[in-house]
């Protein structure tokens, strides 16, 4: 929430003339409420505060506010599915604030201008091992380092980024952006050891680390039994996308590629196939579009690029150059059932995008760690059943997104810090949420959102150039100004101007207001006219 301007309430004595305070049964009180965007952010960003700085053109302050919680603004501005915008009250008036687009602008501005993290002070002397250099591991390492601890990451792969690098194609996340934001973390003093897969957690514990954070990610593609001929070419999407990233010789998929699955990885696999030269890329999914886990905007982008989607279908047999697909039909509960109707598709290869699993073999002989249904059980502090061993990201029960993983890293780091210092970390209590009904919306004129431009469709088929572009300074500033400051005073002067008793007093430029209760008669006009819902009425004591 915004740090300033703010409002306060004061009792100033009762000896003044023309007092009206004795007429009240209720009195107004300035409050700070939790903006719904802040509440919805899995990384726990103070979105309203950094939008305020951006609106004031103080871009570096805005960026530094973001990185208090999330070290990856430029990455988040590209790959986050922005649940903050789904919760934005502005959508009730015209369109949600383009929070994600402003975050990308700030992240790109930081890279362009070379802004760096503040140096670490007050070193603790404690050593923490982080297993995995994906979004959760990097986030934890960053926050632990800022808290003064020595942090070493062991990464099984040849480069940092995890699924940000090996699962998200370059047309969504340019690698120079990823590399720039990872480099800031290593410049802070975090060390990363590549090609260093941890095979045995007990052996790592024996090395004397004071705590360990496990964040190995879900890098193993799930398989399904599909009868296939000896020459049929079947790949899993995770390995295929990884090979596109690390191999000079790109996978040879042929002219016609079928992708089996309905998630965002299936969409990425099909769009990547087109960019590798496939003439046709078809996604086969056993349910209907409304049940597809892939996000709508990703599906729309795929359709624009000529990706074909085949709903209510399942693959029964694969052979060289063709496959048999069975049509499905929904039963009375809406669940797909086989129909016995078959058709044949021409296809040179099949890519399976049926989900991912984490490789947890390194935990098998570790006492106290509970693994169930392919994920590790953790408590509210992100600690496993083994003291000093924490876990997060895709290897624990949670939604599998980059932003959730980053939030896990921050949360775990704070609890690890408490563990290392012998004092439990207790998060601050949250304020009530500033819901739409608390706002006075006449104050806000309609101002539809600035939408980001896209790379022309004709250029997408043959290049991995970034598809979704960013906002320029003017459009980013305009977008930040669309924020309604839900639940927090922004010194609009409405309360000061409408009070019939001159009970609202200014406390100085940018410092909000005070209520002189000796003159306030509790009429509630200030509450009714407050645009952002930062004043409420409470019973007179």
pLDDT band, very low/low/confident/very high, at 8 (cuts 50, 70, 90): very low
Own/partner pairs, 493-498, CB within 8 angstroms, 24+ separation: 494/443, 494/526, 494/529, 494/530, 494/531, 495/526, 495/529, 495/530, 495/535, 498/525, 498/526, 498/529
For the whole model, what pTM was predicted? 0.91
Identify the pLDDT of residue 104: 98
Eight-state DSSP code of residue 150:
E
- Asked which of 44-48, 189-193, 227-231, 398-402 is least confident by mean pLDDT, the reply is 227-231
Per the DSSP assignment, residues forming a β-bridge with 515 are 504
| Mean per-residue pLDDT, 63-82 | 97
Tell me what the pLDDT averaged over the chain comes to.
92
Is the model's pLDDT at 500 over the cut of 50? yes
In the chain, what's the furthest Cα-to-Cα distance?
97
Does residue 354 have a pLDDT over 90?
yes
User: What is the β-pairing status of strands 513-515 and 256-260?
Assistant: unpaired
Beta strands in 16-126 (DSSP E): 26-30
Cα separation, 383 vs 408, whole angstroms: 11
pLDDT of residue 25: 86
At 379, give phi and psi (nearest 5°): -90, -170
- Confidence band for 224, pLDDT divided at 50, 70 and 90: confident
Looking at CATH, the fold of the domain delimited by 21-32+488-539 is given as Alpha-Beta Plaits (3.30.70)
Mean pLDDT value of segment 297-317: 94
Q: Using the predicted structure, report yes or no on whether residue 472 has a pLDDT greater than 50.
A: yes
Topology annotation, domain 127-219+358-421: FAD/NAD(P)-binding domain (3.50.50)
| Statement: residue 24 has pLDDT above 90 | no
The mean per-residue pLDDT over the stretch 406-410 comes to 98
pLDDT number for residue 445:
87
Dihedral over Cα of 166, 83, 450, 67: its sign? negative
CA distances from 338 to 327, 332, 450 (A): 6, 14, 45
Instruction: Decide if pLDDT at 69 tops 80.
Output: yes
> DSSP letters of 419-452?
HHHTS---PPPPPPB--GGG--GGGS---PPPPP
Q: How confident is the model at residue 11 (pLDDT cuts 50, 70, 90)?
A: very low
> Please, are residues 383 and 415 in contact by the beta-carbon 8 Å criterion?
yes
pLDDT at residue 19, rounded to an integer: 52
DSSP bridge pairs for 10 = 516
Query: How far is Cα 8 from Cα 304, in angstroms, rounded to an integer?
Result: 53
- Compute φ and ψ for 462, nearest 5 degrees: -120, 10
Rounded-to-integer distance, Cα 299 and Cα 289, Å: 9
Confidence of residue 512 (pLDDT cuts 50, 70, 90): confident
Tell me which of 6-15, 129-138, 513-522 is least confident: 6-15
- Which tokens go with 515? 């209520």
Find the mean pLDDT for residues 31-56: 96
Q: What is the structure's pLDDT at 246?
A: 87
Return the SS3 of 4. coil
Per-residue CA distances from 115 to 59, 66, 412, 480 (Å): 11, 13, 26, 21
pLDDT value at 422 more than 90: yes
Which of 324, 291, 289 shows the shortest CA–CA distance to 308? 289
* High-pLDDT (> 90) share of the chain, %: 84
Go through the chain and tell me how many residues it has: 541
Q: Which CATH class is domain 221-356?
A: alpha beta
| CA-based nearest residue to 347, from 418, 276, 431, 283 | 283
Contacts of 437 (CB under 8 A, 6+ apart): none
- How, if at all, do strands 191-193 and 389-391 pair? unpaired
pLDDT of residue 21: 52
Q: Determine which of 42-46, 227-231, 526-530 has the lowest per-residue pLDDT on average.
A: 227-231
CA 230 to chain CA mean position, Å: 42
Q: Is the pLDDT of residue 10 over 80?
A: no
Of 28-42, 179-193, 369-383, 507-521, the least confident: 507-521
Spatial distance between the Cα atoms of 495 and 531, rounded to a whole number of angstroms: 9
Q: In whole angstroms, what is the distance from residue 302 CA to residue 517 CA?
A: 60
Q: Examine the pLDDT at 505 and tell me if it is beyond 90.
A: yes
Tokens 């990201």 belong to 393
- Cα 511 to chain centroid distance, Å, stands at 33
> Any idea where the domains of the chain sit in the sequence?
21-32+488-539, 45-115+439-481, 127-219+358-421, 221-356
* Same fold across 21-32+488-539 and 221-356: no
CB 395 within 8 A of CB 214: yes
Using one digit for the tens of pLDDT, what is the confidence trace for 231-289? 889 999 999 999 999 877 778 899 999 999 999 999 999 999 999 999 999 999 999 99
pLDDT tier at 18, thresholds 50, 70, 90: very low
The pair of three-digit structure tokens given for residue 44, joined into one six-digit string: 């726990």
């Amino acid at each position: 929430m915004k740090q300033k301007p703010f409002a306060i309430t004061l009792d100033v004595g009762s000896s003044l003339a023309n007092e009206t305070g004795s007429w009240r049964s209720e009195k107004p009180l300035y409050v700070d409420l939790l903006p719904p965007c802040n509440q919805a952010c899995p990384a726990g960003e103070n979105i309203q505060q950094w939008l305020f700085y951006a609106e004031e053109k103080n871009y570096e302050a805005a960026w530094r506010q973001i990185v208090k919680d999330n070290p990856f603004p430029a990455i988040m501005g590209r790959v986050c599915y922005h649940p903050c915008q789904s919760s934005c009250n502005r959508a009730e008036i015209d369109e949600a604030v383009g929070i994600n687009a402003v975050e990308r602008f700030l992240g790109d501005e930081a890279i362009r201008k070379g802004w760096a993290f503040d140096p670490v002070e007050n070193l603790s002397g404690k050593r923490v091992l982080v297993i995995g250099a994906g979004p959760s591991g990097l986030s934890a390492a960053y926050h632990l380092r800022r808290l003064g601890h020595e942090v070493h990451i062991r990464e099984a792969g040849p480069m940092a980024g995890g699924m940000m690098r090996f699962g998200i194609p370059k047309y969504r996340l340019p690698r120079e952006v990823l590399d720039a934001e990872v480099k800031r973390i290593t410049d802070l003093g975090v060390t990363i050891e590549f090609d260093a897969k941890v095979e045995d957690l007990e052996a790592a514990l024996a090395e004397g680390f004071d705590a360990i954070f496990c964040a190995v990610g879900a890098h193993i593609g799930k398989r399904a039994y599909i009868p296939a001929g000896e020459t049929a070419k079947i790949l899993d999407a995770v390995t295929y996308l990884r090979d596109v990233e690390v191999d000079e010789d790109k996978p040879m998929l042929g002219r016609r590629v079928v992708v089996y699955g309905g998630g965002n990885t299936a969409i990425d696999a099909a769009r990547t196939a087109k960019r590798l030269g496939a003439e046709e890329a078809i996604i086969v999914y056993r349910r209907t579009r409304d049940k597809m886990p892939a996000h709508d905007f990703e599906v729309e982008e795929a359709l624009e690029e000529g990706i074909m989607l085949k709903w209510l279908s399942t693959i029964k047999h694969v052979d060289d150059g063709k496959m048999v697909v069975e049509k499905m039909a929904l039963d009375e509960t809406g669940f797909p059932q086989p129909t016995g109707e078959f058709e044949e598709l021409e296809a040179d290869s099949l890519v399976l995008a049926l989900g991912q699993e984490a490789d947890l073999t390194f935990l098998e002989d570790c006492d106290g760690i509970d693994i169930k249904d392919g994920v590790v059980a953790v408590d509210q502090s992100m600690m496993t059943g083994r003291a000093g061993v924490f876990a997060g990201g895709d290897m624990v029960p949670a939604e599998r997104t980059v932003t959730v993983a980053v939030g896990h890293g921050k949360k775990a780091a704070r609890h690890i810090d408490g563990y290392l210092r012998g004092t439990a970390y207790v998060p601050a209590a949250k304020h009530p949420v500033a819901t739409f009904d608390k706002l006075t919306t006449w104050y806000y004129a309609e101002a539809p959102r600035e939408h980001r431009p896209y790379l022309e469709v004709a250029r997408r088929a043959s290049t991995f150039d970034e598809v979704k572009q960013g906002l320029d300074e003017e459009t980013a500033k305009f977008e930040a100004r669309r924020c309604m400051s839900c639940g927090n005073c922004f010194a609009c002067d409405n309360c000061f101007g409408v009070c019939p008793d001159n009970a609202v007093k200014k406390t100085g430029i940018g410092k909000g207001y005070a209520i002189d209760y000796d003159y306030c008669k509790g009429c509630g006009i200030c509450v009714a006219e407050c645009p952002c819902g930062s004043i409420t009425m409470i019973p007179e004591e």
